[in-house]
Amino acid sequence: MDIKAGDLEAIEDEATFVRFYTDYVQHVFHQARLYPRLSKPRVIEAHGAWLSDLKRVNDHEPQLGEGLDHFKRAGHLAFWVRRMGPVVEAVDTTQNFADAPGYDLSSDEQAFRDLLFGYANEYVAFDLGYQFCRYYELNKAGGSARANSLILTEDCIRTNCHFLKYKQVSPHALYLIFKSLFF
């Protein structure tokens, strides 16, 4: 699922966020031939906490003439999506007994499944924040050569997911992680 112009602003609306987030997670899980089960109350909680955080940070940083940048907004979004844990289950779509036997999983699909089974909420949170940052960096005036050529390694992704799951990672730390990836 591609991030488009105005998505980061549009998801400040709760209903838009719920639809956007649900579509995003379904798209991610589909790549591993899985279907996510989400807790809608947790999605809504993540959204509310994200907006409250943005308002609080913006109110305490009066020197920000143009508001919070995409790195800060994405860092706070990733933090709250991870913290609220809205993905509660992954359903294996290859095991539907009503369907005829399908094709086997590729090694890439199996590896991605393994990652999602261990770090579903962490991966989605990190990837969502990363994709917003990448979109803005690619589409800023002059574009970003770094964003255009950046490909995260499996080790980088797994390390970030591990830290998000087992360590205390603040929204500010996520902001720095995202910013450092593009500079």
pTM: 0.92
Burial 71-100 (b: 16+ CB within 10 A, else e): bbbbbbbbbbbbbbbbbeebeeeeeeeeee
Task: Compute the mean pLDDT over every residue in the chain, rounded to the nearest whole number.
Answer: 92
Cα(63)–Cα(67) distance, integer angstroms: 9
pLDDT of residue 84: 98
Report the pLDDT averaged over residues 139-168. 93
Asked which of 65-69, 117-121, 137-141, 145-149 is least confident by mean pLDDT, the reply is 65-69
Measure the CA angle with vertex 33, ends 103 and 153; round to 5°.
110
pLDDT at 98 over 60: no
Task: For residue 46, give both structure tokens.
Answer: 């993540």
Q: Is pLDDT at 64 greater than 70 in this prediction?
A: no
Helix, strand or coil, per DSSP, at residue 103: coil
State yes or no: pLDDT of 99 exceeds 60. no
Q: What is the largest CA-CA distance in the chain?
A: 61
Query: Could you tell me which residue, 35 or 145, shows the higher pLDDT?
Result: 35
Decide if 34 contacts 91 (C-beta within 8 A). yes
Q: Which amino acid is residue 37, in one-letter code?
A: R
The tokens of 147 are what? 């964003």
